[in-house]
Structure 1
Amino acid sequence: MMRNSPLPPAPARKPDLEDDFTAATLRADIWVDHYLPHWTSPERSRARHDFVRGGLRLRIDADQLDWREEDAPLRVSNLQTGMFSGPVGSERGTHRHRPDHLVVRTATPERLLWAPSAGRVDVTVSASTDEGCMLAAWLVGTEHLSAKDTGEICIFEIDADGVGDGRSRARCGVKAHSDARLTTDMTEVVVPVDASKPHTWTAIWGPSGTLIGCEGVVVKHMPPFPRYPLFLMIDLFEVSRRSASAASYPKTAHVHSVRGWESASAE
């Protein structure tokens, strides 16, 4: 499918994953409100969030700790649709995205809340315009079946300085990480939206490849796709040094709705 083509319509059936956050409480049957908690400690992985009119607000607060002390500056508030790790001291766990041999610090029980091997997901968000922030959504290999299943579909990564009035920059594509069956293929795209306002990103993956779209239009199409279960992650990062002024906080982004459909087969 060519770039700038209309996206295929969403399936007519009810989504397997659906949340517009109007319940004003985080659904434990869908979400884990920690960022990769097995590689760090609970007080560092726990998301800061609240519910506002129109959805869920992810926050970076002035007193929030770095995700790992040795990774500073890096503070994260994240939602993900499951978790998996091996025992403390092992290197088994979801999203071993680093080359420096992450080691499990907090053992987490296997929770496969939504982990399709093929399907579609629509994520409606408003990105952050706060200094040093990035809003991202990824589908990452769970790795609970095999440590080889490390691939990632990057639905979008939007830096605060990429948000513009009527046009915004984002990155999207596939990241192989250590999966030798995949090739990293990332692209910076310009989309005709003010990403600080509600807009929808879509990922469709399966036998015909990986398709990424924004506001109903294809922005990238790639032949390969990870052929194994994937968790959805939606993240607000602060990747610069902590702002000197407490008045700069909280730094925020919004998640308005998420809808996902699992396909019957990834073959």
Structure 2
Amino acid sequence: MPALLFSDDFDAPELNGENWLPCYLPHWSSWERSQARYKIRDGYLRLVVEDDQQPWCPEFDGGVRVSNLQTGHWSGPVGSRAGQHRFNQDLTVREAIAPRRLFLPHYCRLEMRARASLNPWNLAALWLIGFEDEPHRSGEITLFEVFGGNVEPDAVKIGRGIKKIHDPKLTTELDEASVPIAVGDWHVYAMDWTPEGIDFLVDGTVVTRTRQSPDYPMQLMLNLYDLPGDEDRSQALTATFDIDYVKAWAK
């Protein structure tokens, strides 16, 4: 049997701090402003964005609100331009936070059992991003990416594949084809990441393959977004992203 590298089934009453940092890219904002909102109940994690939650980085990301858990962190000193997931060229580090290496896989089998209830302006995702202690190690593996506007009763467009971000060795290769499932029900989303490429699976069936493969350690980013827009929110439902477990095995 392959060695188990990581496992969290959220059966404990509190979030396991040895597995997760409950924040979102805090170096570009602040530890306090980037804090996630979540609940653990009945053996699963529920990510939420609550009414009183403020945008995490309004100067550079507008009204975006997000609850995110991540398994690592790296950034430079205050005032530097060095840090993970640099999404705007004007960003500088605002708060010095010590590097954390909780779970940084480099090739693995990764599984998540999850369900989501989304409004059109919500996004639920599980990404892996480069730890980025070296600038070129910045690629992203998208295991699960669902925009609420892409959800139908019995089908959903799920983004899965690779985004180059700032990695010159990668090419963005993202499959967003529809899968005939109800995303509000429990399903298992998985990937087999090897040096030769990545297989993406839904409920044990391969739905996408890539021939690219980031060759460096990456951290998990598990998140629920509330994205600004002009939609009528008067009939909004309570958006949730529920995760029953996240597990990884050596390849």
Taking structure 1 as the reference length, the TM-score comes to: 0.88
- Is residue 112 of structure 2 the alignment partner of residue 123 of structure 1? yes
CA contact (8 A) 2:120 2:147 kept: no
| 2:53 alignment partner in structure 1 | 64
- Measured in 2, the distance between the counterparts of 1:222 and 1:114 equals 23
- Measured in 1, the distance between the counterparts of 2:38 and 2:81 equals 29
- Is residue 200 of structure 2 the alignment partner of residue 216 of structure 1? no
CA contact (8 A) 2:111 2:190 kept: yes
Structure 2 gap ranges (5+): none
CA contact (8 A) 1:133 1:240 kept: no
Aligned residues: 250
- Measured in 2, the distance between the counterparts of 1:225 and 1:101 equals 29
Percent identity between the two aligned chains: 36
Taking structure 2 as the reference length, the TM-score comes to: 0.93
- Is residue 132 of structure 2 the alignment partner of residue 143 of structure 1? yes
The 3-state SS of whatever aligns with 1:127 is: strand
| 1:47 alignment partner in structure 2 | 36
CA contact (8 A) 1:85 1:108 kept: yes
Q: 1:190 aligns with which of 162, 168, 178?
A: 178
- Is residue 79 of structure 2 the alignment partner of residue 108 of structure 1? no
**1:87-146 Cα deviation digits (max 9, x unpaired):** 0111211222x24242111111111111011112101111232341110110100012x1
- Is residue 145 of structure 2 the alignment partner of residue 154 of structure 1? no
The code of the aligned residue for 2:74 comes to: F
Q: 1:34 aligns with which of 20, 23, 31?
A: 23
Superposition CA RMSD, Å: 2.0
The 3-state SS of whatever aligns with 1:117 is: coil
- Runs of 4+ deviating beyond 4 Å: 241-250
- Measured in 1, the distance between the counterparts of 2:44 and 2:234 equals 25
**Structure 2 vs 1, CA of residues 262 and 14 (structure 1 numbering), >3 Å: closer, same or farther?**
closer
| 1:93 alignment partner in structure 2 | 83
Structure 1 gap ranges (5+): 1-11
Quick check: 248-257 or 149-158, which moved more? 248-257
The code of the aligned residue for 2:68 comes to: N
